[in-house]
Structure 1
């Protein structure tokens, strides 16, 4: 365990440069005292590193020192071929690069690890798009990726849901996210971050102007925060329902997690008929109608009254359509 930690310290200093004992301790999930002891061991082994005290201090390797030690375990070698996303890489125009990198990695691994890693790539495949949906058409994705990588501002014409539907914006592209088969650009403009679906880009110009990224910006953390805020923004209303036991069982399979969680959180004790009253978030009346119709006769809308009336009107219209079909010609 300690030998593995020493290798990890070397890899961290080699890839990140100067790091404080506190930062190393947090990354490796050990105490600062343990880091101090490990540094003494590395120095005693002849590793050319030095430390500086003070607020801007830390440990670092001497300039030019590179270790060839990878420290790959069997599990780590196997996992390397699970971290690659061949389809995503191809979308970004990096398919050939990824293939070449994997071939070089395979050639450098010992025979046993090469065999184990090869089996992973042969037996696991990632298919990002959800069922019954094709991946987006994204002709501008490669250009956007290049702008993200080189920190180049872009001017784009974008098709959005709100009016005016077509807008032109100049943004700083910070990162790309692949979610459920759809590519999104997270970009900053006028001090605010917004997400743009790449398939809705109508035109794109990569400008020569470079931008400076916010120091310490974490794409993964910001994306998670964005999703939470997005749910809060779009769920502007609530609906109160009576659900049968069957509806409660089906809810996680046909509704999104936010609705299922709200139903579980607000569920009352079953009434004499075994039905339960719940309160769930909705985006709008129009959006809620087709979603709640999925529950069929296993749900009754109690509030708001407008939603209840609209559901009733929809059902009455459906009954008339089917009754007309049943009349003899």
Structure 2
């Protein structure tokens, strides 16, 4: 019962804090706003608005009421709480567009444009124009080229709550090889890697692991708290984990010469191949490259797809495999 009352009090507190911020933002436009208009905008009673104004005044914000038919609430001398303690580049950094997909996946209930509009009210005048231009000229898109309506993450709500509250979760997880395992995890943080979400966690043996959120087939909160490692930093762990994973990947090096058309495609397709060396363009227009793949089979499929626009120089074994694959294709279409 006590715990329920505590959560209710917290909820009321955050609702009021959010309402006070909204009132302040409305008043920062510099015009008078009536009690009725505020109550309708915020969906509370006029009496609640009067109490909110008393709270703002007690917090040191100079609000006052003008009486009469044309009266309303106003800030003294167009007072504004500006972001004046930040340097210009720091203010500009706040205006880098946010990824709407991330906020949607996390169910934040707000768009990047709403954040921009609220921030603009608090920016010094000399920075406002530059901040607006930054937002208009840079866009962050973390979705895939072919977004699907089925890109939902059923486990997100449960995992997000567990991350924020340090509570254990029971999950059913499908590995890359198709094996399915049920276990109890301790979620430490969420990471958005491009358009893919991961949860960094401690498993039942207290070992650090990273699970893809879309492979969690079922989960339920146990509401059992756990002790978060004191020296754990999510960003540092992720960067170290990423470097370790990259080093563990197998490398298969291939030396080729590519036509101008193939060269453009190879430079564009960075997802499947990494270019480790590029020579100067030859007299015939072709360019020598060294490419790195995860496996021979991956290299074979990639190179055959270019037809007569790419020639393998080494290894010789791959030349033989390309020739065999080409003969198989010819046989298929006879």
Same fold at TM > 0.5: yes
| Distance in 1 (alpha carbons) for counterparts of 2:116 and 2:259 | 51
Larger helix share, 1 or 2: 1
Residue 103 of structure 2, aligned match among 64, 89, 114: 89
CA contact (8 A) 2:199 2:213 kept: yes
Distance (Å, rounded) in 2 between the aligned partners of 1:258 and 1:133: 23
Q: Of the candidates 279, 293, 297, which is equivalent to residue 286 of structure 1?
A: 297
Larger Rg: 2
Q: Contact 1:186/1:195 (CA < 8 Å) preserved in 2? A: yes
Write out per-residue CA displacement over residues 202-221 of structure 1, whole angstroms, 9 at most, x where no aligned residue: 11112212222222322222
2:153 counterpart of 1:138? yes
- In the alignment, which of 315, 318, 332 is matched to residue 303 of structure 1? 315
User: Cα distance, 1:69 vs. partner?
Assistant: 7.9
Matches within 5 A, 1:1-329: 71-82=85-96, 84-96=98-110, 105-114=119-128, 116-132=130-146, 134=148, 136-164=151-179, 166-189=180-203, 190-235=205-250, 237-244=251-258, 246=260, 251-256=266-271, 259-261=274-276, 263=277, 276=288, 278=290, 281-297=292-308, 298-300=310-312, 302-303=314-315, 305=317, 307-322=318-333, 324=334
| CA shift in 2, pair 1:108/1:249, >3 Å | closer
Is the contact made by 1:91 and 1:142 (CA closer than 8 Å) also made in structure 2?
A: no
Deviations 1:44-95 (A, max 9, x none): xxxxxxxxxxxxxxxxxxxxxxxx9851234333321216433312210113
TM (norm. structure 2) is 0.60
Query: Aligned pair in 2 of structure 1 residues 69, 107: CA closer, same or farther (>3 Å)?
Result: closer
Map Cα deviations across residues 256-308 of structure 1 (whole Å, 9 max, x no partner).
Answer: 597313x46xx8xx9xx987584x54433433332333444313264373x55
Task: Tell me by how many angstroms 1:254 deviates.
Answer: 2.6
**Aligned counterparts of 1:132 and 1:101: Cα–Cα separation in 2:** 27
Determine if contact 1:157/1:202 at 8 Å carries over to the other structure: yes
CA deviations 1:224-275 (Å, max 9, x no partner) are 222222223231x5244343475667543334597313x46xx8xx9xx987
Cα pair 1:152 1:173 within 8 Å, conserved: yes
| TM-score, scaled to structure 1 | 0.61
Q: CA RMSD in A?
A: 3.9
Query: Could you say what secondary structure the match of 1:87 adopts?
Result: helix
Report the number of matched residues. Answer: 250
Runs (5+) with no aligned partner, structure 2: 1-81
